[in-house]
Amino acid sequence: MSFFAPRLDRITLSASNAATARVRELRAAGRDIVDLTIGQPDFETPPHVKQAVAAALARNETRYPPIDGVRELKAAARLKFQRENALDYRTDQIMVGTGSKQLLYNALMATVGAGDEAIIPAPYWISYLDMVLVADGTPVVVSCRPEDGFKLTPGALEAAITPRTKWLIINSPCNPTGAVYSRAELKALSEVLLRHPQVWVLSDDIYEHLTLDDNEFATIAQVEPKLYERTLTINGVSKAYAMTGFRLGYAGGPQPLIRALVKMQSQSTAGVCSISQWAAVEALTGPQEFIKDRAASFEARRDRVLELLRDVPGLSAHKPQGAFYLFVHCGGLIGRKTPQGNALATEQDIVMYLLESGVAVVVGAAYGMSPYFRMSIATDMVSLEEACRRMHAAVAALK
């Protein structure tokens, strides 16, 4: 009998975390690596948030917090949903988790059982599929075509729904493609969902404030109020406020579902770090103007990297509408040989070749689509330009 539970065999270690760990190992060994693996803004946590941390410590806000979040943070999240999303949740319809990731995990663990299906549009964030598998559910992956902007279409959604479908997971702006669903696109998906009352929606809005160009953000329960009672809207402070290490997410949804999530969390982490919660209160209620400037910086980086990639034969990238990633098609390199005579037979070979050339990216298969790789642009322009220079040199050396 194996000591480890069978569920462990159904999942894999997060590919992005594994890639980042490998970069740390190589750097510790003295290698010069430009790390484009991690989805973490390179900006500092805002000064007013840091001041809120110090103030919370001075007030001795260091005790066990409520499982669902301190009252002040739930009130701040409630106002945020009203102000920015036209969603009116009572405070008993809101809870706080250790990052949006835990809230997604809680929701799936609380609702999904053997045979239940969750529709996951691909490319998708790495953890969605494995979370469904851990919950004994069945992921139903729907590939979204580049010509559709890597977005789920109503026809594809309709074809994927079965009597066993319990969830549709939507991530907009999307990690890894940067796809942003317009109001019209969300409305069209909503019309399908309204015909299937057993299907609920997990709306992962973590990149909400990082829309680029003139793309407008909308969330599905806002676009179609009839889905309000079937939608869990999840957000957090990691990306917009550069607070990844605070591990703070929040969610709004139907009160019975929130109650189930609280029950699940009560037997895992319980309440989220009290200091992180007070920092998040300040993030949500304090100055917001700087977020637009940071989004503009990501837009400039995106444009520069796209310009440089055009000069790398065999690589091409769809222009992202949001977030801070490029999902790069690398099929044009398959079949080429390295200077040492090794054939690049797969995208994994390409990613490893780029790593040997001093650039770390994440293999596209981890996001449900090949042959691609994901590169983060959440780093400074000098590093991005150097990464593109190294990729250009590495491709030019192929036979």
User: pLDDT digits over 147-206, tens only?
Assistant: 999 999 999 999 999 999 999 999 999 999 999 999 999 999 999 999 999 999 999 999
212-245: b (≥16 Cβ within 10 Å) or e: beebebbbbbbbbeebbebbbbbbbbbbbbbbbe
pLDDT for 1 equals: 76
Confidence label for 320 from pLDDT (cuts 50, 70 and 90): very high
Average pLDDT of the residues of the chain: 96
Map out the domains of the chain with their CATH numbers.
6-44+290-393 (3.90.1150.10), 63-285 (3.40.640.10)
pLDDT for 326 equals: 98
pTM for the full predicted model? 0.95
pLDDT for 133 equals: 97
pLDDT for 28 equals: 87
Residue closest to 221 by CA, chosen among 186, 251, 175 = 186
- Tokens representing 70 are 């301190």
| Distance between CA atoms of residues 302 and 322, nearest Å | 10
Confidence label for 310 from pLDDT (cuts 50, 70 and 90): very high
pLDDT for 10 equals: 86
- Separation in Å, CA 162 to CA 36, 151, 157: 38, 20, 10
Rounded-to-10 torsion of CA 247, 125, 385, 149: -140
Query: Do residues 71 and 63 make contact, with C-beta atoms less than 8 angstroms apart?
Result: no
Strands 372-376 and 325-329, sheet pairing: antiparallel
Query: Do residues 351 and 37 make contact, with C-beta atoms less than 8 angstroms apart?
Result: no
Total residue length of the chain: 399
pLDDT for 6 equals: 87
Higher pLDDT, residue 193 or 18: 193
Residue 77 has pLDDT above 80, yes or no: yes
The count of other CB atoms within 10 Å of the CB of residue 152 is 26
Residue 14 has pLDDT above 90, yes or no: no
Query: Who contacts 273 (Cβ-Cβ below 8 Å, separation ≥6)?
Result: 65, 98, 246, 247, 248
Residue closest to 15 by CA, chosen among 348, 377, 386 = 348
Residue 309 has pLDDT above 80, yes or no: yes
Cα-flanking dihedrals φ and ψ of residue 241, to 5°? -105, 5
Q: What would the mean pLDDT of 87-91 be, rounded to a whole number?
A: 98
Residue 12 has pLDDT above 90, yes or no: no
Tell me: the pLDDT tens digits for 167-180? Answer: 999 999 999 999 99
| Distance between CA atoms of residues 374 and 25, nearest Å | 20
**Any idea which of 9-18, 69-78, 124-133, 338-347 has the lowest mean pLDDT?**
9-18
pLDDT for 7 equals: 87
Tokens 């989004």 map to which residue?
295
- Tokens representing 347 are 């995208």
pLDDT for 292 equals: 95
Tell me: the pLDDT tens digits for 247-302? Answer: 999 999 999 999 999 999 999 999 999 999 999 999 999 999 999 999 999 999 99
Tokens 């069945």 map to which residue?
138
Confidence label for 243 from pLDDT (cuts 50, 70 and 90): very high
Residue 382 has pLDDT above 90, yes or no: yes
Starting at the earlier edge strand, list the strands of the sheet with 362-363.
316-317, 325-329, 372-376, 362-363
Tell me: the pLDDT tens digits for 358-380? Answer: 999 999 999 999 999 999 999 99
| Distance between CA atoms of residues 316 and 306, nearest Å | 8
Confidence label for 70 from pLDDT (cuts 50, 70 and 90): very high
